[in-house]
Amino acid sequence: MTGTTGGAIAGLPSVDPAVHSPIQVVSPSALLDAPASVRGLVAFVAVLALGGLLLWRYEPFVARSADASMARPLSSLVYGAAAHAVIAFGGVYLINQLAGLEAFGYNAGAVGFVVGLVVVLLAASLGFTVVGTTIVGFVRDPNYWYGLLVGALLAALAAFVGSLAGATLWFVLVSMGIGGPARRWVHADEISDARDASRE
C-alpha cells in the first residue's frame, strides 16, 4: 500500500506540479512547433490586437516613433537590435530572480516569462506598425491604421516562414521599427541640452 505522502495512490501515477507549470504551458517551443498556418494566424492577431491598442491609446507616440525610425533606418536597425538585447536580458534576469519563488504551487519564474513575452509582443507590434506605415506611405498618404494592417501581415509572413529566415525577417523589421524611439530615448538628455543651449 502506498502512503499518502509519496508516489502513486491506487496504482495511479503521481503528478508533479512542475510538469504543468504555466511556463511550460506557454513555452515558445509549443508555438514554434505549431503548423505554419497557426503560427501566422497567432502572429497576425497578436500584432493587430496589441498594435491597435497602442494606436488607440498612444497614437502620438507611434507617430513620433515612425518619424524617428524612418528618418535614419540603418541607425534604427542598430538601436533596435540593442533594444532587443536589453529586453532579452531583462526577461532572463526577471525569470532568474523569481525562479526560486512559488505562488499557488507554481514556479513564480513563469511570471517573469509572461512579462517578458508581453514586452516582446508590444515591441513587435510597435515595430511592425512603424514599418507597415512606412510601406503604406510609398503608395498613399501615411495612415497608421493601414500601416498596422500591413505590419500584421508582415508579422504573419515571418511567423509562417518560420526557421532562421522567418526569425531574421521578424528581427530586422521589428528592430527598424523600434530603433527610432530607442535612439531618441538614449539621446534624450543630449537633445534636451541642445534645446536649452539654443534658447540661451
C-beta separation of 78 from 186 below 8 A: no
Map out the domains of the chain as residue ranges.
Answer: 37-182
Alpha helices for 72-200 (secondary structure H): 73-98, 109-137, 144-161, 163-186, 188-199
Residue 103 pairs in a beta bridge with: 106
Query: Cα separation of 18 and 16, whole Å?
Result: 5
pLDDT at 116: 80
Read off the pTM. Answer: 0.75
Joined together, the cell numbers standing for residue 186 give 538614449
C-beta separation of 143 from 136 below 8 A: yes
Phi-psi map region of 2: left, alpha, beta (phi>0 left; psi -120 to 50 alpha)? beta
pLDDT at 175: 92
Full pLDDT tens readout for the chain, 200 residues? 444 444 444 444 444 444 444 444 445 565 566 788 888 999 999 999 999 999 999 989 988 888 888 888 888 889 999 998 988 888 888 778 777 766 666 666 677 777 788 888 999 999 999 999 989 988 888 788 999 999 999 999 999 998 889 899 999 999 999 998 888 888 775 545 444 444 54
Query: Cα separation of 94 and 99, whole Å?
Result: 8
Query: Cα separation of 35 and 33, whole Å?
Result: 7
